[in-house]
Amino acid sequence: MFPYDIIKCRLFFEFAAVLCALLGTFLLATHGNVKSLSISPLALFWGLLSAVALAFYTVFPKNLLQKYDTILLIAWGMLIGGICTNFVAPFWHLEGTFNFVSIGCILFVIFFGAILPYLTFLYGVKYIGPTKSSLLASVEPLSSTAASVLWLHTHLESIDYIGIACIIATVFLLSIQPKPKIKEQKSIQ
């Protein structure tokens, strides 16, 4: 019965984390009103599509991550994705001004906005599993909300702060590691 208690306790914390992540995201997207969205229908479409993509690329590479190195998988994934993107937007049809600053900004976004985040996410999937990794990824709406408040001067309502608190609670719930109870054994003398 002892290991079952630990598993049951961990499942409780993971279930509570899922509920907090869903509630927090719901509050940020609707401001608590079930009949309306505080985002555009286009944003809802792309958000749902992103959720499907997150579910896919969290579960799909599990076997590949056990067999191949994470960096190798990312390299192949980005190469294939880049080739497929060229059918829609060929790289030789570039518009705009190119100088050292613009190229530096592009390289910054490629490395810090695509390669490094996805690399750390896949390492998370490999070491802590897809469930915890995707729940920790639910912090992304929080970071985008914080960025819109700081840089775009977006006004938040009080319900938004409750949603933010729920998402932060998700991270804390996932960090809780239940410790096994040590049963006292009486020595027979």
Task: Select the more confidently predicted residue: 127 or 181.
Answer: 127
Looking at the chain, the whole-number percentage of residues with pLDDT higher than 70 is 87
When the pLDDT of each residue in the chain is averaged and rounded to a whole number, the result is: 80
The 3-class secondary structure across the chain, one letter per residue, is CHHHHHHHHHHHHHHHHHHHHHHHHHHHHHCCCCCCCCCCHHHHHHHHHHHHHHHHHHHCCHHHHHHCCHHHHHHHHHHHHHHHHCCCCCCCCCCCCCCHHHHHHHHHHHHHHHHHHHHHHHHHHHHHCHHHHHHHHHHHHHHHHHHHHHHHCCCCCHHHHHHHHHHHHHHHHHHCCCCCCCCCCCCCC
In the structure, what pLDDT confidence band is assigned to residue 108 with cuts at 50, 70 and 90? very high
The pLDDT assigned to 1 comes to 47
Sketch the domain layout of the chain as residue ranges: 2-175
